[in-house]
Structure 1
Amino acid sequence: MREQSFGSGETVVRRDMHRGRVWSAQAQRVITDTKDVLVTACAPGAEVLWPALYARTRTENNATLRMAPFDELASGEWELTTARWQETELLLWKPPEAWFSINAFYTAAGLRNWYVNFERPMRRTRAGFDTFDLAVDLVIGPGLDRFAWKDEDEYAHVRRLGVITDAEHQEVEAARGQVLAMLADRTGVFATAELWASWRWEPGWPTPRLPSATA
């Protein structure tokens, strides 16, 4: 039995948790929730919490600071800052036991790209679900005809820091193969890629906001 289920339209919070602390949080809207998958969405203006140093790297576009937030993560000492999701609409597909989520990013022109985030399996909470981003990602073109791995250097760095264990590394390696097989066979979310490509955030939907007790 699932710990918690959510109705379409509810606001939920995706939290990245490390050592019992919130590393990041994002308010999202539930699209559908079944025993097989949770689908949520986000849009510009949605409230987020980010590590302050990470937010600084985004604001300043400072490549020299790129690895610094991970050093804070390894130390267990970081500060959070509030921010807003910007630029893209997001649709997230997360099977309950998977070591990844598959995300679709949209601009005004339509589906920009697919983005596979390798992460821990979700643990449902009263407010949403907890997971933890494991740094490495796979970027897939909107037509599913090309892909590229992203942030392998960050992944190697957090492994060296001990943030990602050897056991988790093995799970990520297995998950890489699972996702590539899904892409090749057009299974899972990729079986309905055309429907996903036509999805858009409804203008009348309220902007997701974080509850006050998120952190």
Structure 2
Amino acid sequence: MRSFETGETVVRRDVHRSGRVWSEQALRVLADIDEALVTACAPGAEARWPALYAKARDDGDRSVRTEAFEAMATGRWELADAVWQETDLLLWKPPAAWFSINAFFVPDGAGRRLRNWYVNFEHPTRRTEAGFDTFDLTVDLLIHPDLTGWEWKDEDEYAHVRRLGIVSDAEH
């Protein structure tokens, strides 16, 4: 398994079971240790997302994301260039885990503050020469910054991708 150097740029890719790339995101390596690959992403980092996701973000219309999942189910989607915005991301990805732990930081006066913790349910890591592949399983867990509470995120989209067969019974 290839190790990454601190400071190196890697690409996190979501790869559909068909082998097609669903999204790509540039990340900076903070540490690559046995327990996890630890990376970060700042506003302005390059990404590629499904064109319908980009449209949903640009228009502020989350309903378009449903169309993106339908495109995924049929195998017909295009990627669009995008830029990571608004938050600094710290991502901790254990190699065999079906999740990553993310911390999102936002501007706060002259510095940054932790907005929330985020558990992203996803496939275990598959290392590549350029970074790693996984596949986002849609549903997430938002955790308050002080760890006093949590809530599910995107349950409606998760139910939709389950109906479409994007997330299998075994993955569920």
Shorter-normalised TM range:
over 0.9
Distance in 1 of aligned mates of 2:141 and 2:63: 23
Mapping of residues 44-63 of structure 1, within 5 Å:
44-63=43-62
Residues 1:9 and 2:12 aligned together: no
Q: Alpha-carbon deviation of 1:83?
A: 1.0
Q: TM-score, normalised by structure 1?
A: 0.76
1:14-53 residue pairs with structure 2 within 5 A?
14-18=12-16, 19-53=18-52
Q: Runs of 4 or more off by more than 2 Å in structure 1? A: none
Is 1:126 the counterpart of 2:129 in the alignment? yes
**Higher percent of residues as strand:** 2
Question: In the alignment, is the contact (CA less than 8 A) between 2:52 and 2:65 conserved in 1?
Answer: no
AA in 1 matched with 2:6? S
Matching residue within 115, 119, 141 for 1:116: 119
Larger radius of gyration between Structure 1 and Structure 2: 1
TM-score by length of 2: 0.95
Residue correspondence of structure 1 range 156-175 to structure 2 within 5 A: 156-169=159-172
Q: Which residue of 2 aligns with 1:187?
A: none
Unaligned runs of 5+ in 2: none
> 1:140-159 alignment to 2 at 5 Å?
140-159=143-162
CA contact 2:3–2:32 (8 Å) conserved in 1: yes
In 2, the alpha carbon distance for the partners of 1:142 and 1:42 equals 19
- Whether the aligned pair in 1 keeps the contact of 2:42 and 2:84 (CA below 8 Å) is yes
Following the alignment from structure 2 to structure 1, what is the Cα–Cα distance between the partners of residues 169 and 162?
A: 8
Q: Deviations over 1:119-145 (max 9, x none)?
A: 000100000000000000000011011
Larger helix fraction of residues:
1
Three-state SS of the structure 1 residue aligned to 2:70 is helix
> Is 1:79 the counterpart of 2:78 in the alignment?
yes
Match of 2:34, as an amino acid?
K
1:75-107 Cα offsets, whole Å, 9 max, x none, are: 111001101100100000010010000000001
Using CA pairs under 8 Å that are at least 6 residues apart, name the structure with larger relative contact order, 1 or 2. Answer: 1
What SS does the aligned partner of 2:140 have? strand
1:33-75 residue CA offsets vs partner (Å, 9 max, x unmatched): 0111110000000000000011001110113323110000101
What is the total number of aligned residue pairs between the two structures? 167
Q: What residue ranges of structure 1 are gaps of 5+ in the alignment?
A: 170-215
